[in-house]
Amino acid sequence: MFAVINNSLSRMRRNADSTFGPQPLRIGILGFGHLGQFLCTHFERERTKPTRDFDLIFIWNRSKTIFTKYGKELDQSLIVSTVQEGLQRLPDLVVEVAHPDVIRTYGEQILDVCDLFIGSPTALAYAPLEARLRKKSIETGQAIYIASGAFWGADDIVKMSERDLVRSLTITMKKHPDSFKLNEPLRSKLLHERAKIGDKHEEIIIYSGPVRELCRLAPNNVNTMAVGAIVADHLGFDGVQGCLVADSSLTDRHIVEIELSGPETTIGDKKKPTFHLKTVRTNPAEIGFITGTATLLSFVSSIKRAKGHITGLDDPAAAKARAEEAERKKAAEAAAEAEAKKKEQARSVKPILPYSSMFIFSSTNPIRRFFPAPFSL
């Protein structure tokens, strides 16, 4: 899997062994929207520091007209006409904050030159692209980063997922209707529902279902959901559920709700509570803005935390070894539990359960089938 930046991060090319000591990381940015502008401003401020971690060496945007709004405020020498021109400046890391299409078009080219930071992880909902990027990263030795963004608790879900303890994961995102950029048919659905309710402040459920399809219909709005599908990798884009809600009362914030359930745990003979977690994140944001304020800062922190780390794109062999080790531990725990139950049964006589109350386990009917299925709101 692609590791989330706050969990397991990829190798950064650093010149720590050079004669002149550690050198700043050379960064290129693809995309000059709200987030791209924020990052550019931040990295340009780094230049004034006596020692700095980063050097911004180029900026690219699909439309060049946006740069005309900035005169002396923006160093014009940073602007490049093509991605290839930017790559010729030999960056150490390219940060994409434009659109999933940019990853589809240029992702492999970037990995031929340097490491890649994906700010639009909805691109990975297209499985063939994920496979190509994974293959290219292994071939070139370049790393792929994905920021956790507005996804709270990514590290913990990765840990649970590694032990196959996540049974369902639902991510609900609520924003003002003007903060959505939707493809059809969701765009028409939102316009129709808004016309029906008029000036009333009512929630409109735009979509509820698997995240993979939603990534295609709202690629700019559901990067947080894509992160969830990546960290809960055994559920993936088809198993993780997404719910997109428009609420005209949310004039100054975005709301992200993450709801997760784990396996049942037997306590005594009757109680079987299911592990359950729900977090609600309120992210300050103006109407019309896709990215909330806290997410902007999260991106900067993710890039800073990446510096000097070694692993990022999970090596398939290492991932397989970890999975096999987890299976061995699970089997050992199950055997120990079965032995303990056998001893307990020997000490006490219990009524035989009727057949209808028993589970039949086999290779075609695994235990996990009896756990709650993914749900939607």
Task: Quickly count: other Cβ atoms within 10 Å of residue 64's Cβ.
Answer: 11
Please determine whether the domains at 25-150+301-314 and 154-290 fall in the same fold group of CATH. Answer: no
Burial-class residue 55 by CB neighbours within 10 Å (0-12, 13-18, 19+).
middle
Residue 185: asked if its preceding bond is cis (omega within 30°), the reply is yes
Average pLDDT over residues 160-171: 92
Q: Which residues pair with 29 in a beta bridge?
A: 59, 95
pLDDT band at 271 (very low <50, low <70, confident <90, very high): low
Asked if 261 and 177 count as a contact pair (C-beta separation under 8 A), the reply is no
Distance in angstroms (rounded) separating the CA atoms of residues 119 and 150: 12
Digit-coded pLDDT (tens) for 91-140 = 999 999 999 999 999 999 999 999 999 999 999 999 999 999 999 999 99
pLDDT for position 296: 75
The candidate with the shortest Cα–Cα distance to 278, out of 265, 295, 261, 294, is 261
pLDDT band at 72 (very low <50, low <70, confident <90, very high): confident
Average pLDDT over residues 143-172: 88
Asked if 83 and 103 count as a contact pair (C-beta separation under 8 A), the reply is no
**Assigned token pair, 315:** 């090596």
Q: b or e along 74-103 (b: 16 or more beta carbons within 10 Å of the residue's beta carbon)?
A: beeebbbeebeebbeeebbbbbbbbbbebb
Average pLDDT over residues 350-362: 28
Q: What percent of the chain has pLDDT over 70?
A: 73
Q: Indicate if the pLDDT at residue 313 is higher than 80.
A: no
Distances from the Cα of 16 to the Cα of 20, 23, 220, 297, 308, angstroms: 9, 7, 37, 27, 9
Distance in angstroms (rounded) separating the CA atoms of residues 349 and 241: 44
Domain spanning 154-290: which superfamily? Dihydrodipicolinate Reductase; domain 2 (3.30.360.10)
Q: pTM for the complete prediction?
A: 0.72
Digit-coded pLDDT (tens) for 16-63 = 444 455 788 899 999 998 889 999 988 888 788 777 888 999 999 999
Domain spanning 25-150+301-314: which superfamily? NAD(P)-binding Rossmann-like Domain (3.40.50.720)
pLDDT for position 109: 97
pLDDT band at 192 (very low <50, low <70, confident <90, very high): very high
- Higher-scoring residue by pLDDT: 273, 80: 80
Averaged pLDDT of the chain: 79
pLDDT band at 298 (very low <50, low <70, confident <90, very high): confident
Domain ranges for the chain: 25-150+301-314, 154-290
Average pLDDT over residues 216-236: 93
Segment among 40-54, 162-176, 188-202, 220-234 with least mean pLDDT: 40-54
pLDDT for position 212: 97
